[in-house]
Each structure stands twice: as structure tokens, then as C-alpha cells.
């Protein structure tokens, strides 16, 4: 059976513009949440988000000129991909290119570009619409740009499954390699939907936090009694996956192995998770079965944990159902520090999961001051802990009832 390993990591997110910087901020309990300043928010119920400062965007990777031709989600994805591919040490040749592919998705894609061009059309007319409008907005153009730049001629696709996108991209890439359709895949997710239309839309759905506008860093608080919704973030996470012997032949650094992948559907509601948590439970169980691990071999859960009233407790109950209400199990939410990166969330959290195994540190759940649960599971409040772990499960659940889980191991 073909085994799949991770040989490259890349990210840009509200905590930093690379893996090292963002990881160090995460484990030191830093928050990337701040007040939105890029547009006027006085009349918005939610005024905070996990933002990336424009100064953090490396113009040596994506020039200022090229940034004007593509949506921000593509720019962020290209930056994360550049780091991951450099980290992997892989260079495509004519021979290897047809066995090397790309699968980087997005939940919403070029929303801000669509918003701006709609306004231009209404106010200035059709002649002012950019010829780059369509290719800069399409979600699959991120995979397209990566493929072109790095000469990757294998499978080329971009999943769009709301907040499960990044996890599905990694899981589907794992399956492609396992089934001998490719030897290497560049995979993950990118998102940049913090714009007037994006914040307005999620606010109208009553999904966003609107109670900590004066204390932005306190807004994302999974499992806390005072949580009132998620805080939107932006960024990208990219992994390089390889078939084990392919990686070994070129003496690649190996961060860990993808051991299992599960996915399911709730068939319940367009935005709310199924109240019994069965969808998330089945996704985790499927991943566990593929990994051939026992439940007690999973030591840490990198939770979906969005800081919503309903979703947090449903996920926790599903975890307890599968793994037991076990004080030896650790679980935390990266979203407490970076916000919810929508289609990029699962990919960035996969990067952090692999770093947790490599560095033997489990990151904290920030702002967990008054837990809304009596669970024995250690939710790692406030401060990271030092703990070696061999097997981690990472969850992502999205609108439309789509669920995905990945198991990484050493």
C-alpha cells in the first residue's frame, strides 16, 4: 500500500507571514485579531477580524504589479505555496511534472474583486471593467497559477466546500497519491473575504461575533460561555504531500504521515450542523478506520472550534462519543488566535498540527475563561503545553453540512 507523507509546509495568516513566525506567536498565546481598518465599519455589527497587514505580503514572491491583476486570496495562496515548495526542496522536471499536481481551494474565492467590479459596472460602465476580473476571481485560478509557475502537470483541481475546503484539498490529494494517480501534490486552501460584502453577509446570517468590538483579541473564544459567533480571518495554508518512497529517494525532510481521511454530510441544514453531531462523528470515525488506529491512540484533536454557540458543543459531544470523555485527550482551537479562515482554515490548522507533533507543543485555546462544559477533555486554556504526541486528528466542518477529518502521525 502506498503511504503518503508531508514534506513541505507554508502559511501566511494573522499571526505571521511564514510558518516559523506564526507558530511562535501561536504557542506564545498571541492573538491575530484586531479592529477592521481597511474599510469603514461604524455601521457594521461586527468590527473585528483576523487581518494580515499589507506590509507582511512579500512582493518578491508576488510583485505589486501582479497583485493588482489577481484577487488577494490568490496572492496569499501563492505566498504559502512558495514557502511550502521551497521547504520541500522539490523541483519539477519534465519527467516528474506529469506525476506532480496541485489542489488548493477556497471557500469564497474572489469575493472582494467581484464586489469592486460590480460597483465599477454600476457607477462607471462596462468599459471600466478589468480584463483580469474573471481570471482573478475564479477559485481554480489559484491552483492554475501554482501549476504554471512550478511546472506541475499532474492532477489540477480546487475543491470548494465552504469551511472544510482546505481539509478536503489535503484529504483528496492524499487519496490521489495513495491511489497512484500522482507522486506529489501541492495542496491546501486560501481565503481573503474580509471586505464589506463578506462581513455584511456573515453578519446578516448572525454568524459573526458582535460583542467584543472594543476588545478584538477577546472575540474568538471557543467553548466559553460568552462566545457570540466566529471572527473572520484571512490567509492561506499549503502542504506538499508525497508518496513515501518518492520522498525518501530525494532525502526529503518528513514532517509526518497522513494516516487517515474521513468525510461525511449532515443532510440537515444549510448553515447549522446536525444537532446530534453525527456528521462530524462519522467523518472522524472514517479517518480513524483508514488509519487503523484505536481511539485511545489519538492524543490531540485540533478542533474546528469556531466560537459559535451551537457548533462548539456539537463538535465536543461528537469527540467525546468517539474518543471518550477522557482527561488524557487534549483538544484546542487555533481559531481562538487567528479567527476563522473559512476555506483556508483546515489547511492552516493542518500546518499547526504537524508543527505540534514536530515541536512537542500543543497550542492553547485563548479566552476560555468560563467553560461552557464539564468535559474531562483538556481544552488547553490560555497557555500552550509541552507534550509529545504521535497521532493528531484535525477537523473542519462547513456550511451545507460538509465534514472532513484528517489524521496525521509520526
Q: Establish if 72 belongs to a structural domain.
A: yes
Residue 287 in contact with residue 393, Cβ under 8 Å? yes
Q: Same domain for 239 and 267?
A: no
pLDDT, mean of each 10-residue run, the chain (410 residues): 97 98 98 97 97 93 94 98 97 87 98 95 94 96 98 97 98 98 98 97 96 98 97 98 97 98 96 94 98 96 97 96 88 98 98 98 98 93 98 98 97
Catalytic residues: 163, 304, 340
**Domain residue limits at 336:** 262-409
- Domain tally for the chain? 2
Tell me what pLDDT residue 129 has.
94
Distance CA 137, CA 406 (A): 28
Q: Same domain for 59 and 186?
A: yes
Q: For the CA atoms of 179, 400, 195, 108, what is the dihedral angle to 10 degrees? A: 30
Residue 354 in contact with residue 255, Cβ under 8 Å? yes
Residue where a domain stops, chosen among 214, 249, 284:
249
Residue where a domain stops, chosen among 199, 219, 249:
249
Listed residue (9, 10, 16, 82) closest to 233, CA to CA: 16
Residue where a domain stops, chosen among 193, 218, 249:
249
Q: Same domain for 391 and 289?
A: yes
Q: Establish if 152 belongs to a structural domain.
A: yes
Distance CA 305, CA 271 (A): 15
Three-class SS state of 287: helix
Q: What CATH number is attached to the domain comprising 397?
A: 3.40.47.10
Tell me what pLDDT residue 92 has.
85
Q: Establish if 177 belongs to a structural domain.
A: yes
Tell me what pLDDT residue 1 has.
86
- Sign, CA torsion 133/134/139/141: negative
Tell me what pLDDT residue 96 has.
85
pTM, 2 dp: 0.97
Distance CA 79, CA 298 (A): 32
Tell me what pLDDT residue 285 has.
98
**Which H helix or E strand runs over 257?**
strand 256-265
Amino acid at each position: 500500500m502506498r503511504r503518503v507523507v508531508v514534506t513541505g509546509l507554508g502559511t501566511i495568516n494573522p499571526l505571521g507571514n511564514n510558518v516559523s513566525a506564526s507558530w511562535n506567536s501561536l504557542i506564545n498565546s498571541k492573538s491575530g485579531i484586531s479592529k477592521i481598518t481597511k474599510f469603514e465599519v461604524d455601521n457594521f455589527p461586527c468590527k473585528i477580524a483576523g487581518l494580515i497587514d499589507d506590509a507582511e505580503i512579500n512582493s518578491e514572491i508576488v510583485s505589486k504589479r501582479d497583485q493588482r491583476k489577481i484577487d488577494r486570496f490568490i496572492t496569499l495562496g501563492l505566498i504559502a505555496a512558495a514557502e511550502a515548495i521551497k521547504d520541500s526542496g522539490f523541483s519539477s522536471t519534465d519527467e516528474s511534472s506529469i506525476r506532480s499536481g496541485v489542489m488548493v481551494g477556497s471557500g469564497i474565492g474572489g469575493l472582494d474583486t467581484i464586489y469592486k467590479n460590480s460597483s465599477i459596472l454600476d457607477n462607471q460602465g462596462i468599459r471600466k471593467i478589468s480584463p483580469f476580473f474573471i481570471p482573478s476571481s475564479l477559485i481554480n485560478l489559484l491552483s492554475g497559477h501554482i501549476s504554471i509557475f512550478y511546472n506541475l502537470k499532474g492532477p489540477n483541481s480546487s475543491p470548494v466546500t465552504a469551511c472544510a475546503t482546505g481539509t478536503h484539498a489535503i484529504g483528496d490529494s492524499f487519496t490521489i497519491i495513495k491511489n497512484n494517480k500522482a507522486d506529489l501534490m501541492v495542496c491546501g486552501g486560501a481565503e481573503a473575504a474580509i471586505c464589506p460584502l463578506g462581513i455584511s453577509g456573515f453578519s446578516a446570517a448572525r454568524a459573526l461575533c458582535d460583542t467584543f468590538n472594543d476588545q478584538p483579541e477577546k472575540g474568538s473564544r471557543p467553548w466559553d460561555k460568552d462566545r457570540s459567533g466566529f471572527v473572520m480571518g484571512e490567509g492561506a495554508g499549503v502542504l506538499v504531500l508525497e508518496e513515501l518512497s518518492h520522498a525518501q529517494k530525494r532525502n526529503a525532510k518528513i514532517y509526518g504521515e497522513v494516516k487517515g481521511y474521513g468525510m461525511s454530510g449532515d443532510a440537515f441544514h444549510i448553515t447549522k450542523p446536525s444537532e446530534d453531531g453525527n456528521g462530524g462523528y462519522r467523518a472522524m470515525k472514517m479517518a480513524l478506520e483508514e488509519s487503523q488506529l484505536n481511539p485511545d491512540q489519538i492524543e490531540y484533536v485540533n478542533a474546528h472550534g469556531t466560537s459559535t454557540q451551537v457548533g462548539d458543543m456539537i463538535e465536543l459531544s461528537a469527540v467525546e462519543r468517539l474518543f471518550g470523555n477522557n482527561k488524557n485527550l487534549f483538544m484546542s482551537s487555533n481559531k481562538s488566535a487567528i479567527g476563522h479562515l473559512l476555506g483556508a482554515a483546515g489547511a492552516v490548522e493542518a500546518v499547526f498540527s504537524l508543527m505540534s507533533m514536530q515541536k512537542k507543543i500543543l497550542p492553547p485555546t485563548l479566552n476560555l475563561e468560563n467553560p461552557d462544559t464539564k468535559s474531562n477533555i483538556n481544552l488547553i486554556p490560555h497557555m500552550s503545553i509541552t507534550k509529545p504526541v504521535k497521532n493528531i486528528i484535525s477537523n473542519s466542518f462547513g456550511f451545507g453540512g460538509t465534514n472532513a477529518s484528517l489524521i496525521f502521525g509520526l
